């Protein structure tokens, strides 16, 4: 459907009421620009809601995901403001799984 070459996480929480323009402004502020075929992920403070902004080269897509139980495993904003993850890690993250334990080949490294 949409070709995504890189996936980026913004570690600081974002208000989930934000629309496309606000999310795009946040991408430009945190990452410097919205690059084509890149996905930018944001979570709320409780990390039970996530928004994904994708620039497909023509327009902007904004999707939302909510967990009814638990929360997304989100990196701390104390150490970094942005983080690049792999497609395998992204697939695990949107399911609420511990994505940070997955390596490049989908192998679990740490228990």
Query: Which run of H or E residues covers position 106?
Result: none
Among candidates 71, 77, 45, 40, which has minimal Cα distance to 55? 40
pLDDT confidence of residue 109: 56
Vertex 99: Cα angle to 5 and 78 (nearest 5): 95
Residue 110 lies in a domain: no
Under-70 pLDDT residues of the chain: 102-111
What pLDDT is stored for residue 33 in this prediction? 94
Q: Is residue 25 part of a domain?
A: yes
Tell me what pLDDT residue 3 has. Answer: 87
Provide the pLDDT for residue 79: 78
User: How many distinct structural domains can be found in the chain?
Assistant: 1
* pTM assigned to the model: 0.86
Domain contains 32: yes
pLDDT at 6: 95
Q: Is 92 helix (H, G, I), strand (E, B) or coil?
A: helix
Q: What is the pLDDT of residue 96?
A: 85
Torsion (CA) 92, 40, 70, 45 in degrees, nearest 10: 160
Q: Is residue 56 part of a domain?
A: yes
């Amino acid at each position: 459907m949409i070709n995504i070459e890189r996936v980026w996480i913004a570690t600081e929480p974002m208000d989930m009421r934000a629309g496309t323009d606000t999310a795009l402004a946040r991408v430009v502020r945190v990452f410097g620009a919205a690059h084509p075929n890149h996905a930018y992920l944001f979570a709320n403070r409780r990390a039970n809601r996530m928004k994904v902004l994708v620039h497909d080269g023509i327009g902007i897509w904004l999707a939302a995901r909510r967990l009814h139980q638990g929360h997304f495993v989100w990196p701390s904003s104390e150490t970094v403001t942005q983080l690049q993850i792999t497609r395998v890690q992204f697939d695990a993250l949107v399911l609420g799984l511990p994505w940070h334990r997955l390596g490049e080949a989908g192998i679990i490294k740490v228990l």
